[in-house]
Amino acid sequence: MKTKLLYLVRRLAEFVVSLVALALVIFSLIFIAPGDPARVLVGTKNATPELLAQIREKYGLDDPFFVQFGRWVWGALHGNFGTSIQSGQPVTEYVAPHAQVTFELVLFSLVLSIIFGLLFGVVSAKGRGKPRDGVISAVALVGTSAPSFAIGLVFLYIFALRLGLFPIYGVGNGTWTDTLWHLALPAICLTFAVTALIIKVTRASLLVEVEKDYSTFLRARAVAPFAITAAQIRNASAPIFTSTGLVLANLFGGTILVESVFSIPGLGNLLANAVTFHDVPVIQFIALMLASMICLASAVVDIAVAFINPLSRGHRNRFPSKAAARTGEGMAL
C-alpha cells in the first residue's frame, strides 16, 4: 500500500513540475513573439503613442518579463488567471463555455476512437496477411496522413450537404440530443485522424500475444475463440492503454482545425483567435488547461497500466518478482 502511495505522490510531483515548466515556457514564447496587444485592440486606426501607452499600462505590458510572469503566477495561485485583453472579461469565465464544448467533443471522439481502434486492431491482427488486414491498414494510413481540415470538408460535403445526415456547423440549441447530433461529424472526423494509432498498437500487441505459448495452449484446450481473444487483449492492454493517452493529446491538438471547419466555439477556435489577437492571458490559460488535461490523462493511464501490469511501474515499485516477470507469471488470463 505504501509503495502505491509513494508512486502516486511521485506522479503528482512530476505533474506539478511539468505544469510550472510549461507555464514558464509558454509565457516566454509569447513574450518574445512579435506583436503588441494594444495595437491589435486599436487595429489600423489612428492611435497616438500616448493612447497606446495607456492601454499597455492597463495590462502591465511594459513591465519586465519576471514582473509579468510573477504577477501571473501569484494571480493563478489565488485562482485569478487575469483578464482577456480582447474581450475584457475574466479569463476563466471567458474560456469556460468554450472548454465545455471541446471536452464534449474530445470525449465523444475518444469513445469512438477506442471502440473503433480496438475493433479494427483486433480484426486486423486476427486476419494478418488477409485482405481485411490490408484494407484496415490502408484506411488507417489515409486517416493518419490526410489533414483533418481536408477530411472535415469532404465529410461535410458528403454527409451534411449531399446526404443531409448531419448539420454543417455549430453546436445546436443546447439539448443533449442536438449537441450530440451536431458534434457527431466533427467527432468522427477527429476519430478518423487518430484511431490509426490505436489500431496499429492493438494489432502489434495482439500479434505478440497470439504467438505466445499460452495462446497455443488455450487453443489446444479448445477454449472458445472469444475467450482466447479476450485474454490476449487483457494481456496486451498496457501498450493499448498507453496509446490511448497519446490519442487524447492528439485529439486536443486536432480540435484546432476541426473546430474551425465545423464552426464549433471550442478551445481550439478560441486559442487560434487569441493567438491572432495576442491575448496573452487567454493563450496562457488554455495552454495550461490543455496541458493539465493531457498530463492528468497520462498520469491516469500510467497508473492504470501500473495496476494492470505491475512490470511497468519501474524498479523501485515493482510488485512481482523478477523471476515472475521473466516467466510471465502473473499475466492475466
Partner 1 sequence: MNRFKKGAGIVTLLLVFILLFAACGGGSQGNGASPGGSAPAGGNGTGGKPFVVGVSGTISSLDMNQEAGILNYYISSISMEGLVGIDNSGKVIPVLAESWKDDNATVWTFKLRQGVKFWNGETMTADDVVWSIQRAMDAKRSPGVAIYFPSYVKSVAKTADDEVTITLDGPHASFIWAVSNTGGLFVTPKAWGEDTEKNGTIGSPKDLIVGTGPYIPKEFSPGSHVTYVANPNWWNGKPNMSSIRFDFFQDENTRLLAFTQGDMNFALNIPVDQSEQWAKVKGAQVNFIDDRSYFGLTFDPNVAPFNDEHVRKAVAYAIDKDSIVSGSILKGHGTAATAISAPEQFAVVMSKEEATSKLASVTHYDFDMAKAKAELAASGSAGGFETTITYPDAYPAAGQASLALADSLKQIGITLDVKEIPLDQWLNEIGNGKQGVGWMIYFPTTPEPGEIAMWLLDARGAGYNPANWTNDQVAQLTQQIMSAPTFNDQIAPIIQGNSIAQEQVIYAPVWWGQAAIAYQQGIQLKDYNSYSLLSSNWPQLFTS
Identify residues 170-189 at the interface with partner 1 (CB under 8 A): 170-178, 180-182, 184, 188
The full DSSP string for 131-191 is: HHHHHHHHHHHHHHHS-HHHHHHHHIIIIIIIS--S-SSS--SS-HHHHHHHHHHHHHHHH
Contact characters 273-302, partner 1, x per CB under 8 A: x-xxxx------------------------
Q: How many CB atoms lie within 10 A of CB 91?
A: 25
Determine if 133 is a binding residue for partner 1 (CB under 8 A).
Answer: no
Kindly tell me which residue out of 5, 44, 64, 131 binds partner 1, with binding defined by CB under 8 A. Answer: 44
Binding span for partner 1 by CB under 8 A among 14-22, 149-157, 240-248, 289-297: 149-157
Size of the site for partner 1 (CB under 8 A): 87
For partner 1, the binding residues in 183-222 under the rule CB under 8 A are 184, 188
**Cα distance between the two ends of the chain:** 24
Under 8 Å CB-to-CB from 321, ≥6 apart: which residues? none
| Sole binder of partner 1 in the list 87, 144, 292, 317 (CB under 8 A) | 87
**Separation CA 197–CA 204 (nearest Å):** 11
Instruction: Please report whether residue 3 would count as binding partner 1 according to CB under 8 A.
Output: no
Q: What is the smallest separation between the CB atom of 139 and partner 1, expressed in angstroms?
A: 14
d(CA 210, CA 306): 22
Nearer to partner 1, 166 or 241 (CB): 166
Place of cell 496509446: 243
Cα(247)–Cα(19) distance, integer angstroms = 20
Question: Interface with partner 1 includes 127 (CB under 8 A)?
Answer: no
Using the minimum distance from each CB to partner 1, give the nearer residue, 199 or 297.
Answer: 199
> Per rule CB under 8 A, is residue 62 in the interface with partner 1?
no
Using rule CB under 8 A, residue 75 touches partner 1: no
Scanning the structure block, which residue is given the C-alpha cell 474551425?
Answer: 260
Residue 79 in the binding site for partner 1 (CB under 8 A): no
Q: Which range binds partner 1 by CB under 8 A, 48-56, 136-144, 199-207, 319-327?
A: 48-56
Q: What is the distance, to the nearest Å, from the Cα of residue 35 to the centroid of all Cα atoms in its chain?
A: 29
* HEC profile of 273-326: HHHHCCCHHHHHHHHHHHHHHHHHHHHHHHHHHHHHCHHHHCCCCCCCCHHHHH
CB of 179 to partner 1, least distance (A): 8
Answer for the pair 81, 75: CB distance below 8 angstroms, yes or no.
yes
Tell which residue, 53, 263, 299, has the closest CA to residue 149.
263
Distance (Å, rounded) from C-alpha 244 to C-alpha 250? 10
118's enclosing H/E stretch is: helix 91-126
- The CB-of-55 to partner 1 minimum distance in angstroms stands at 5
Q: Is 124 in the site for partner 1 (CB under 8 A)?
A: no
Q: How far is the CB of 283 from partner 1 (least distance, A)?
A: 11
Among positions 12-41, residues that touch partner 1 (CB under 8 A) are 33-41
List the one residue from 161, 296, 332, 333 that touches partner 1 (CB under 8 A): 161
Segment interacting with partner 1 (CB under 8 A) among 67-75, 194-202, 224-232, 295-303:
224-232
